[in-house]
Amino acid sequence: MTEEARVRRFTIGVLVAVTLGAGLSAAPAQAAAGPAGGLADCTAEACHFDVPPGTYDVKVLLGGDAASSTSVTGETRRALLPEKTTPAGERVARSFTVNVRTPEGEPTGAAGTPGLDLTIGGSAPALADIRVTPARHARQIFLIGDSTVCDQPGDPYTGWGQQLPQYLRKGLSVANYADSGESTVTYLTNPQLWATVQPQIRRGDLVLIQLAHNDKTTDGATYRANLEALVAGVRERGGEPVLVTPIVRRWFNSDGTLNNGTALLVNGLGVDHPAVIRSVAADKSVPLIDLTARTKAMVESLGVEGSKSLYLYNEKRDSTHTSVRGATAYAELVRDELIAQGLVPEGLVRVG
């Protein structure tokens, strides 16, 4: 089908409506006062909704006269809905909850575009209807981390936190406050980071903390104290902290295993970051997602060559930052741990 024909089919077949009730708010998990009227603008490939910062439920109706396959991304390259195949003549409804904020990506990055921007993708996209409403009972998963977690602004870089939203259903959203280059030291001291995140945490919210890659000069006592400060700060707000050990770097020994220094995040001072995180989790009774162990097993199972595609080795000779494939695989590991440990209701998570 030509692009012209696809646009024509979309224009004829799409009914777009935005329902924005009274009581719209800039608060992360509920709607607030102030009317916001008007129909959203949609093209064949994108939609824009002129809404204030907040958390919104999005319901899409996928499908058309021909067989279709549609995915949805939004804001700063966030994967919001995995690709769904719909037979010709059928319609399938899907819903998700999305966090709208400024800046829309990394906290120290560019502000981005005001409102909610969604991109309609997939191999044969077809959108039959879309509705956006303020989310009134959404639970947030806040992410605190570095460049391996954040909403990366430019392709091919992709953080696992950028891929996580597609595995969550309506009622559970990701507020990704991970930021490139941050250590436990800088995250706590930069007012755009922890001082911005902490006041937004509400009772019942999860806060996933993965900081280690940039703590290259942080001594063990300071590193531990910083993690404990973040844990205490989350609990002070009624949230539930979850400590996450860092994803591995792709550095192999000659025998095909990952080396015990660079790959497994032991810094030049001899601080074994994953070991400290595990210790703090045990001492403070904090749920632990051992992403170091999980990603180590995956990378070693794929081997020196097979694991290259998880990272940006082929594009950038980069064995630290993940590709879309790697970030997606690692987001799935996080999803699986959230379910296995009962941290989120299984009904709010997409598995298939």
pLDDT of residue 229: 98
Residues in the chain: 352
**Model confidence band, residue 333 (pLDDT cutoffs 50, 70, 90):** very high
What digits encode the pLDDT tens for the residues 83-108? 999 999 999 999 999 999 999 999 99
Q: Provide CB contacts within 8 A for 234, sequence distance 6+.
A: 198, 201, 207, 209, 240, 241
| DSSP SS3 for 175 | strand
What digits encode the pLDDT tens for the residues 150-209? 999 999 999 999 999 999 999 999 999 999 999 999 999 999 999 999 999 999 999 999
What is the share, in percent, of the chain residues with pLDDT greater than 70? 88
Check pLDDT > 90 for residue 21.
no
Q: How far apart are CA 19 and CA 22, in angstroms?
A: 10
Q: Are 175 and 239 in contact (CB under 8 A)?
A: no
Give the domains, in start order, of the chain with CATH numbers. 3-134 (2.60.120), 139-348 (3.40.50.1110)
What digits encode the pLDDT tens for the residues 214-262? 999 999 999 999 999 999 999 999 999 999 999 999 999 999 999 989 9
pLDDT of residue 40: 53
Q: How far apart are CA 44 and CA 14, in angstroms?
A: 9
Q: Are 164 and 77 in contact (CB under 8 A)?
A: no
**Model confidence band, residue 28 (pLDDT cutoffs 50, 70, 90):** very low
- Residue at 329: amino acid letter: A
**Model confidence band, residue 17 (pLDDT cutoffs 50, 70, 90):** very low
Give the global pTM. Answer: 0.89
